Amino acid sequence: MEPPLDRIHLSQTAKDQLTKLKRITKIDQWNILCRWGFCRSLAEPAIPSPVPIPADSNVEMTWRVFGGELSDILAIALKQRCHNDGLGTDKETLATQFRLHLHRGIGYLAGDLNIKKIEDLIELALSK
Amino acid sequence: MIFIELVLQNFGPYLGRQVINLRPKEDERFCPIILFGGMNGGGKTTLMDAIRLALYGQRAQCSTRGNLSYPDFLTQSVNRYTAIGEQTAIELAFESILDNVQVEFRIKRSWTKNPRNGKDTLGILVDDWPDSALAQIWDERIEDLLPLGISNLFLFDGEQVKELAEQDVPTPMVVEAIRSLLGLELAERLATDIEILVNRRRKLIANSQALITLEDIEQKLNHQQKEYQIAKDHLATIQDKLTYAQKQQQEASDKFILEGGKIAAERSQLEIQLCYQQKAVTRHRDALTELASGILPLSLISPLLVQAHTQVQQEYRQQQAQVSKDVLSEQEQKFLQYVTQIGLDSEQFEKIKLFFKQEIETLKQDIQLQELWLLADEESIFQLNQILTRDLADSQSLAKKQLNNLKIQEENLAAIESQLAVAPAPEVYEQLGDAVKFAQSELANVKAAYELARRRCDELATVIENTKKELAQYSEENIDRKNDEHIITASTKVQATLKLFREKLTLRKLNQLESVITECFLYLLHKSDLVHRVAIDTDTFSLSLYDFQGQLVPKHRLSAGEKQLLAIALLWGLARVSGRNLPIAIDTPLGRLDSSHRNNLVERYFPFASHQVMLFSTDTEIGKNEVEQLRANNAIAREYLLKYDSAKRCTTIEPGYFW
């Protein structure tokens, strides 16, 4: 599968949020937490608000680093979501939506008061 | 004291063993005289010497000894014909009183020529029983029985008597003898002894330094004893404290061992468990983290994935249909060509044509159902399929399991933590330890204090002991000194008394002696008007004679015979005044005396001189008349004749006299 974008730049806000998550969950890899954030956003039926997201942090990674073994699956999921939302599946749309979803998901996770340790994160994956 | 028997063996001129019975009793009659007859050189003096030697041994004053040493004298006294190996011996038996019992002593002296050790062998038999202890102290013992000092006044010969008579002043020996006979020397010795005693005591007093007074010592002692009491009380208090501290320390230690140990054990166990549980929790968390890094987040978007999966399958089918339509169109052309070739009727041909048309339509419907937008490659499709059908569920169940485990572990951990919270804190342990340390230091302090107090007590006890000793010593010295002073003062009195006593005793005794001698002298003297009184000088014991007018009769006016009679009177008087019942031996008794005086002696002196009188006489002294006179008076108990055999050059003793 063709990746929706080559390099992912995170905002400073996302970085801060991820830092918090890192502390809580003891997961010390950005990419894993980003995966969780991305999936968390996709799980929300609402379309992410098209807000501008600055790439003002020093955290950046390639798509393959972000997805790892799940790169293709995640790309498919994004495509499906964009299709479902009726936004089209062109590469630009995909890239934009990905950034929106990623940052929204990270925000969700960081703001979730129920998530205090790794178990709570895992619980998210089991509740549905 | 009575001589019983004299035995001579190879002594002087006496060869072999000769036994002389000296018992003065004969047939129950009292006959004091033992008469020995012998010519000059016949051995009379030897007999006298034998008696002296037997009694006094080394100290004996024998006639032939001169200046010879005792061993030489003994050697000289051995009979020259004595067979080799044969002993020379003298035995003298006498009766005396020992411990208020009359016993028979037998002195036996024996030696050989050139005696070994230069001495004779002395044996004393008491009632025929050898008494070696008595032999050891014989020299002292004989002084009680017959003192050497007076022996010359009882065993004397005429020559000595002559000397005694001719001297103006008696020799010191005679003076000593007189003194001891009269019992004067006792008082003198006593005086000397007292003097010595006084001197010693004076020295003692001079030596004992001036001491502090008794009161001072007692005061000191009292003070020390008070101090000691205080120290002792203090010690008792401290001992109580010590006991208490020891108890406390024991209790604290016990408590520490009991509770502290328990706490430590519990805590350490709980802490180990806690650590284990914490590790387990961490492990589980790590596992969860691991899981989180896997496919688990996909479960959040599983509906999306299912949709995608459906889409993928549709797209796949569409693609398949497209391929099938193309293949089918191709096949239709070929088939229709073939059918035209084989010449099927047109009706059938149309039917086949329609079939193909329908088929393609169906396929077209399939293809055109939706447009293709997902465009997943085959690999992704396979992966998606795998995830949806298997991996996700697996992952979820694993996560569930892990979560459960984690929960259990966390519960355990919480339980342990609560236990730990309940368990005694390390501070309690420390408190216990501190208590033990405190108790120990307290104990050490109290011990030190106790030791100090005990030492103080000991020191005081020693000091008190010393003071007590000092007191005792002082008291003793005090008493001793007082005693000494008393003795010294008393001694002076005693000395004075003694002096008086001695003077009075001397006077008394001498007066007695004077009257006895006068009596004897007048009794023996035929010239009864010559002398009225004999006086004895109290210091020199020299005799002086006074006539009836009270005038001094000079001694040189007396004839030699009278002088001899005076001497005999002196001896007789001494013997009588001394009150001692001792045998008398007189050698050469009647030399130089005229017949009248001889008669007096024979008649008046010999039979009454003592209870035993041994006379050693030549044939001219006690001649036929005298012997017969004595015999007639029943005065003679035994008679012996000393026969000298000039051929054998030895003397034998035979019973009988010259006549």
How far is B135 from B119, CA to CA, in rounded Å? 14
- Select from B283, B301, B387, B411 the residue whose CB has the most chain A CBs within 10 Å, as the one to mutate to test that interface: B301
CATH for the stretch B185-259+431-507: 1.10.287.1490
Task: List Cα–Cα distances, B430 to A128, B258, B259, B422, B434, in angstroms.
Answer: 54, 14, 11, 17, 6
Q: Tokens 């020390």: give the residue.
A: B224
How far is B536 from B513, CA to CA, in rounded Å? 8
Residues B67-84 have pLDDT tens digits of 888 888 888 888 888 877
User: What integer pLDDT is reported at residue B118 of this predicted model?
Assistant: 67
Task: List Cα–Cα distances, B265 to B256, B274, B281, in angstroms.
Answer: 13, 14, 24
Helix or strand holding residue B209 (H, E): none
Residues B479-491 have pLDDT tens digits of 777 777 888 888 8
- A72–B399 CB contact, under 8 Å: no
Q: Any idea where the domains of chain B sit in the sequence?
A: 185-259+431-507, 268-422
Q: How many CB pairs under 8 A join A and B?
A: 110
Whether residue B208 is predicted with pLDDT greater than 80 in this model: the reply is no
How far is B3 from B23, CA to CA, in rounded Å? 7
Distance from CA of A101 to the nearest CA of B (A): 12
Do the beta carbons of residue B545 and residue B562 sit within 8 Å? no
**Which chain A residues contact residue B376 at CB under 8 A?**
1, 72, 76
Is B311 in the A-facing interface, judged by CB distances under 8 Å? yes
Closest partner CB to A122 (pick from B288, B298, B307): B288
User: What integer pLDDT is reported at residue A41 of this predicted model?
Assistant: 92
- A80–B403 CB contact, under 8 Å: no
User: What integer pLDDT is reported at residue A17 of this predicted model?
Assistant: 93
Is A102 in the B-facing interface, judged by CB distances under 8 Å? no
How far is B513 from B403, CA to CA, in rounded Å? 153
Closest partner CB to A122 (pick from B298, B311, B403): B403
Whether residue B409 is predicted with pLDDT greater than 80 in this model: the reply is yes
**Which chain B residues contact residue A1 at CB under 8 A?**
376-377, 380
User: Which residue segments constitute the domains of chain A, with CATH numbers given?
Assistant: 7-126 (1.10.1220)
Q: Tokens 């202890």: give the residue.
A: B133
| Least reliable range by pLDDT among A80-94, B270-284, B410-424, B524-538 | B524-538
Whether residue B223 is predicted with pLDDT greater than 60 in this model: the reply is yes
Q: Using CB atoms and an 8 Å cut-off, which of residues 364-393 of chain B contact chain A?
A: 373-374, 376-377, 379-380, 383-384, 387
* Res. B385 pLDDT band, cuts 50 70 90: confident
How far is B164 from B616, CA to CA, in rounded Å? 19
Token duo for residue B478: 């005090």
Instruction: Assign A8 to helix, strand or coil.
Output: strand
- Select from A104, A122, A127 the residue whose CB has the most chain B CBs within 10 Å, as the one to mutate to test that interface: A122
- A122–B301 CB contact, under 8 Å: no
Top-confidence range, A50-59, B107-116, B205-214, B553-562: A50-59
Residues B108-137 have pLDDT tens digits of 998 887 766 667 888 888 888 888 888 888
pTM across the whole model? 0.48
Do the beta carbons of residue A18 and residue A115 sit within 8 Å? no
Whether residue A103 is predicted with pLDDT greater than 90 in this model: the reply is yes
Q: Please name the residues in contact with B585: beta carbons below 8 A apart, sequence gap of 6 or more.
A: B48, B51, B154, B155, B156, B613, B614, B615, B616
Token duo for residue B501: 């006593």
How far is B302 from B308, CA to CA, in rounded Å? 10
The residue ranges of DSSP E strands in B12-68, in sequence order, are 14-21, 25-26, 29-30, 33-38
Residues B362-382 have pLDDT tens digits of 877 766 666 777 777 888 888
- A80–B307 CB contact, under 8 Å: yes
Q: Quick one: what percent of chain B has pLDDT higher than 70? A: 95
Q: What is the ipTM of this complex?
A: 0.91
- A76–B308 CB contact, under 8 Å: yes
Q: Please name the residues in contact with B349: beta carbons below 8 A apart, sequence gap of 6 or more.
A: B336, B339, B340
Residues B334-358 have pLDDT tens digits of 888 887 888 777 788 788 888 888 8
Residues B291-329 have pLDDT tens digits of 888 888 888 888 888 888 888 888 888 888 888 888 888
Q: Quick one: what percent of chain B has pLDDT higher than 90? A: 5
Helix or strand holding residue B57 (H, E): none
